[in-house]
Each structure stands twice: as structure tokens, then as C-alpha cells.
Amino acid sequence: MAEDTISLEDIQKEAGTDDPQEWIRRGIQAARQKEYEKGLVYLAEAYRRLSRGPEGKIPPAALSYYGLCLAMHKGRVKEAAEFCQIAVEREFYNAEHYLNLGQVWIVGRSRRKAVDALDRGLAIDPNHSELNKVRASLGVRKRPVIPFLHRDNPLNVSLGRMRTAKKAAGKKSK
């Protein structure tokens, strides 16, 4: 995906501290501002420092946002989804983790998995504005033309395309 332009040295100067918790805070803040490369550098270094420490426990939020940055900046969707999934398993009650997992699946072009993650997040927090916005952007699928057949059935696919073409032709004639 994108090439690295931010070095660890630049980030260390900007942070002005060696505290991994501060690095996590800055990494999450960068990810929320869609500065995924910066967030990735902060969170990767915090992850490295915490994993070699005595407690070795990385907060679920750090894992979730690390996964998001990994997918958005590097395009490593499978690995990113694993990090987000660990965060979801540790804090299943945090809708933000489902949002990040959903966005990772969107980058990976897996609409079904993205919708599932976003819907699970909305079940936890129906008023989460960002979850609602991302979910609405994916839209809602129409019912299959023949409901008792799977939507991937060739008959449903063909009839669905005909239905869409007919509706489009009807709109043009008006």
C-alpha cells in the first residue's frame, strides 16, 4: 500500500517520553485522526516495548488500533483482523473494537464480515455515531428475487440483475 515516510526517530522526538502508555495514547489518537502511518509507528513501538516487559500485557485498545493502522497503511488485512479479533475477544463490550474490525474487513473487500462486525458493534452501542456512519455507507441489500433460494444461486443473480436493469430503465424514461 503506502510507503513508510515516518521514522521511529522522528516519533521518539515528537513523543518526548519512553512511556509505552503515552505511545499507545498517541498512536490511538493518530489513528482516530486517520494518520495511520504515524499511529502504526507509535503502536508498533509500544507493542514491542510492552511485550518484552515483565507484565507483557498489551491493552485491547492498542491491539485494535494497531490492527486498523496495519490494514489501512500496509494493507495486511489478515494479520490486522487477527489483532482486532483479539481485542474483541478481550473486550467484547467495547463497540470501538468492532468498528476497527469492520473497517479492516472493508479494506480487505470482505463486505459480509464487515457488516457482521459493524452489526455486532451496533448491538452493543446502537448510538455510536461512527459505527452508524460506516454501517450506513455499506447500505442494505435487497431481498433475493426468489427468497427460498440462496442469493448466490445463478437464477437469483440473473433475475436480480434484470430487476435492477428494469428499475434503471424506468427511471430514465421518467
> What pLDDT, on the 0 to 100 scale, is given for residue 5?
77
What is d(CA 102, CA 17) in angstroms, rounded to the nearest whole number? 32
What is d(CA 133, CA 48) in angstroms, rounded to the nearest whole number? 33
C-alpha closest to that of 68 among 95, 94, 105, 93: 105
What is d(CA 25, CA 46) in angstroms, rounded to the nearest whole number? 10
What is d(CA 101, CA 115) in angstroms, rounded to the nearest whole number? 10
Q: Is 51 helix (H, G, I), strand (E, B) or coil?
A: helix
> What pLDDT, on the 0 to 100 scale, is given for residue 174?
61
Q: What kind of architecture, by CATH, is found in domain 8-141?
A: Alpha Horseshoe (1.25)
Tens of pLDDT along 120-160? 999 999 999 999 999 999 988 788 999 999 999 999 999 99
Please report, in angstroms and rounded to a whole number, the separation of the first and last CA atoms in the chain. Answer: 44
Quote the longest CA-to-CA distance of the chain.
71
Is residue 56 a contact partner of residue 26, using CB atoms and an 8 Å limit?
no
Contacts (Cβ under 8 Å, ≥6 apart) of 47: 58, 62, 63, 66
Within 10 Å of residue 6's Cβ, how many Cβ atoms?
17
| Spans of all domains in the chain | 8-141, 144-173
How long is the chain? 174
Q: Which residue has the cell 485491547?
A: 60
> What pLDDT, on the 0 to 100 scale, is given for residue 131?
96
Evaluate if residue 1 carries a pLDDT over 90. Answer: no
Q: Give this prediction's pTM.
A: 0.79
Within 10 Å of residue 149's Cβ, how many Cβ atoms?
14
> What pLDDT, on the 0 to 100 scale, is given for residue 40?
94
Tens of pLDDT along 7-66? 777 777 677 777 889 999 999 999 999 999 999 999 999 988 888 766 668 899 999 999
Tens of pLDDT along 75-116? 999 999 999 999 999 999 999 999 999 999 999 999 999 999
Confidence category of residue 169, pLDDT binned at 50, 70, 90:
confident
C-alpha 41 chain-centroid distance: 18
Higher pLDDT, 69 or 164: 69
